[in-house]
């Protein structure tokens, strides 16, 4: 278990630029989640993959956000035309399939901190 890794750890970009983040989940986990966390708040769900299929996307997510998991392994999150309001910590998590009644917590990466100037 090498853990969930995210790259980069920090990203500073100018408003209007595009950014892309990468997440490598725990290899045997088929579920991958992206969350966004702003200071003083809990993580907010963005989107979710089961293997390579993106099965749910938050209604809060604008069309500027897109995520992929092309081979069911690593995932990328792209933000186009960044805005200052996009500044946040972007967390990736992976887990096993959970049907309820089973202990299958989320395993989080260290996150990518995005600052839009």
Partner 1 sequence: AQKITQTQPGMFVQEKEAVTLDCTYDTSDPSYGLFWYKQPSSGEMIFLIYQGSYDQQNATEGRYSLNFQKARKSANLVISASQLGDSAMYFCAMREPGGDTNAGKSTFGDGTTLTVKP
Q: How far is the CB of 36 from partner 1 (least distance, A)?
A: 11
Kind of pairing between the strands at 65-68 and 10-13: unpaired
Residue 14's Cβ-side half-sphere holds a number of Cα atoms within 13 Å equal to 0
Residue 86 burial (CB count, 10 A): 19
Show contacts with partner 1 in window 12-71 (CB under 8 A): 31, 33, 40-45, 48, 55-56
* Cα(103)–Cα(93) distance, integer angstroms: 15
Q: Is 110 exposed, middle or buried (0-12, 13-18, 19+ CB in 10 A)?
A: middle
Q: Which is nearer to partner 1, 25 or 111 (CB)?
A: 111
Q: How far is the CB of 16 from partner 1 (least distance, A)?
A: 27
Q: Which is nearer to partner 1, 21 or 48 (CB)?
A: 48
Q: Which of 1, 2, 70, 102 binds partner 1 (CB under 8 A)?
A: 102
Residues that bind partner 1 (CB under 8 A): 31, 33, 40-45, 48, 55-56, 89, 91, 93, 95, 97-111, 113
């Amino acid at each position: 278990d090498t853990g969930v890794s995210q790259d980069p750890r920090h990203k500073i970009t100018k408003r209007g630029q595009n950014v892309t983040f990468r997440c490598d989940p725990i290899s045997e986990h088929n579920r991958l989640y992206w969350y966004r966390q702003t200071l003083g708040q809990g993580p907010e769900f963005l989107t979710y993959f089961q293997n390579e299929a993106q099965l749910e996307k938050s209604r809060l997510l604008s069309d500027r956000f897109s995520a992929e998991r092309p081979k069911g392994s690593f995932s990328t999150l792209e933000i186009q035309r960044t805005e200052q309001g996009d500044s946040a910590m972007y967390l990736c998590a992976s887990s096993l399939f959970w049907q309820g009644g089973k202990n299958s917590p989320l395993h989080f990466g260290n996150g990518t901190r995005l600052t839009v100037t």
